[in-house]
Amino acid sequence: MKAAYPRILLKLSGEVLAGDTGFGIQPAVLRGLAEEIRDVRALGTQIGIVIGGGNIIRGVTAANEGMDRSTADYMGMMASVMNSVALQDALEHLDLATRVLSALEIKEVSEPYIRRRAVRHLEKGRIVIFAGGTGNPYFTTDTAAALRAAEVHASVVLKATKVDGVYTEDPEKNPKAERFERLSFDEVTQRRLAFMDQAAIALCRENALPIVVFDMTVPGNIQKVVAGETIGTTISD
């Protein structure tokens, strides 16, 4: 099995670390995720990762409940740093060289995000975890993933979810919803498909970055996607 993409940006939601509990970090889930990433690294691809902080706090939800939006978003960014450090620890227990680069300066636990430094780490085969979102409120980690992917010239953005692709409608609400295997960016816009933040989709479109949306709860799926197998939904021009 060989990698179809020389450099990937893997977007993970923070909620995945919570497992079935819905909150916090479950060590067993973290270990399993680290093992999946180890298998991907074995293909020879360079790996960048963006992970959200929704297992600790969701900025938009907190803002809707009365908190100042900027404050809530900064808290979400700090939560993503916590998740990134936890993932780094799990990966290093598997002897994988890993660096956390944060858009928020927290020098005691991470390096500051510098594009050239990130590219150099990737070239050396280190797994780079981009923490702290974009460093600005009002932007999601989807947008951070698209931005970092464009900056380091990734080959693809892999959006790992709990759903096996993009559907005509929410499959949980409508069991008859149909899954797309391939979509163009024009079709995504026309159909108003909300599988990702619109700013993130626009960034990927402008930089000719394909997106693959797939179900990461199936063991081995991340590796299969990186190897070029047709899994989930691919969005491209």
How confident is the model at residue 1, as a pLDDT? 79
How confident is the model at residue 62, as a pLDDT? 75
Contact 230, 181 (CB under 8 A): yes
* Residue 213 pLDDT > 80: yes
How confident is the model at residue 57, as a pLDDT? 82
Domain span holding position 14: 7-236
**Where does the pLDDT of residue 237 fall: very low under 50, low under 70, confident under 90, or very high at 90 and above?**
confident
In a domain, 79, yes or no: yes
In a domain, 2, yes or no: no
* Residue 178 pLDDT > 80: yes
C-alpha dist (Å) from residue 103 to 16, 48, 218: 22, 14, 31
Q: Is the pTM of this model over 0.85?
A: yes
* Residue 170 pLDDT > 90: no
Mean pLDDT value of segment 11-39? 91
In a domain, 1, yes or no: no
Domain count, the chain: 1
Mean pLDDT of the chain: 93
In a domain, 67, yes or no: yes
**pLDDT tens, 59-75?**
677 777 888 999 999 99
Beta strand ranges found along the chain (DSSP E): 7-12, 46-51, 98-102, 111-112, 127-131, 156-161, 166-167, 179-180, 182-184, 211-215, 233-236
In a domain, 29, yes or no: yes
**pLDDT tens, 106-149?**
999 999 999 999 999 999 999 999 999 999 999 999 999 999 99
How confident is the model at residue 166, as a pLDDT? 94
CATH number at residue 123: 3.40.1160.10
